[in-house]
Amino acid sequence: MTTCKAFCISVLCSFTLISSHASHAAEAASGAKKADTPPAQNLAFEEIELDSLDTTGFFSRKPVKIKGYLLRARGAGKSPGAVLVPACNGLLSGDGKNIRINYRKMARHLNGLGMTVLLIDGFNPRGFTEICTQSGKSRSIDTLVRLKDSFGGLLYLRSRDDMITDKVFLVSWGATGSFQAMNKGSPYAEKAGAGFTAAIMFYPECDRVDGQFAPYAPIQMFVGEKDTWNPASA
């Protein structure tokens, strides 16, 4: 835990950039009436298909197709973006029909700041709703796969004409490989052309980083000291 804390730095400056962009976007759309902006609770998530950096086989270069749920920024002009990667419980409820409330609330909060938000679902396309009930090393979808899905989301947002391509943030929960995603030595950041602008991590896994960890961008980490499922000492 001490090692993890030593590498975590504040991303308040990043949120300042987000809020600043939201203000500029609001000014650009000043001709529109306030009543024309739909309330957050009525905003629709658009289901999309995207490529993971994961491939269909060891010798294959064909990318695995995963799903995402896109919440577009309101207003005219380009927007910053965020890739949200869920914990082992998965993005969707057990019946696969609804986005879990904590991820939905975070997406709408960031969208309210002027961001286009992409929620990653790499579980259901691979035939799983969750992996919490699978023990560590026997998990069908491991940390590396989830890391590759994150970068697939980054590349997707960067491919869009309505995005500020150098302002894409990572928000992750659990063992998604988020520290490796933010490491200067990450080969996946190189494959993506550049990594994320900054990262917010909830309960990140700190022990799976190739080489010495050196973040290339700001990180903010949140853990629960007395949490019994994913304790801070883990």
Residue 28 in this model has a pLDDT that exceeds 60: no
Helix, strand and coil content of the chain, in percent to the nearest 5, comes to: 30, 25, 45
Third-level CATH fold of 2-18+44-222? Rossmann fold (3.40.50)
Residue 226, C-beta contacts closer than 8 angstroms, at least 6 positions apart: none
Pinpoint the alpha helices (H) of the chain. 2-7, 12-28, 101-112, 143-158, 178-181, 187-191
CB-based contact 115:156 (threshold 8 Å): no
Residue 124, C-beta contacts closer than 8 angstroms, at least 6 positions apart: 67, 90, 91, 92, 96
CA distances from 52 to 69, 130, 155, 190, 214 (A): 14, 18, 9, 15, 25
Residue 138 in this model has a pLDDT that exceeds 80: no
Spatial distance between the Cα atoms of 78 and 75, rounded to a whole number of angstroms: 9
In one-letter notation, the amino acid at residue 229 is: W
CB-based contact 9:215 (threshold 8 Å): yes
* Phi, psi at 85, each rounded to 5°: -120, 120
**More confident position, 46 or 20:** 46
In one-letter notation, the amino acid at residue 76 is: A
Domain ranges of the chain: 2-18+44-222
Q: How confident is the model at residue 3 (pLDDT cuts 50, 70, 90)?
A: very low
Q: What is the mean pLDDT of the chain?
A: 80
pTM of this structure = 0.79
Residue 207, C-beta contacts closer than 8 angstroms, at least 6 positions apart: none
Residue 116, C-beta contacts closer than 8 angstroms, at least 6 positions apart: 70, 71, 72, 73, 79, 80, 81, 82, 157, 160, 162, 163
**More confident position, 207 or 95:** 95
Helices (H) and strands (E) in the chain, counts: 6, 7
3-state secondary structure at position 94: coil
Which of 88-102, 109-123, 171-185, 202-216 shows the lowest per-residue confidence on average (mean pLDDT)?
A: 202-216
pLDDT value at residue 43: 62
Burial (CB < 10 A; 0-12, 13-18, 19+), residue 194, is middle
3-state secondary structure at position 146: helix
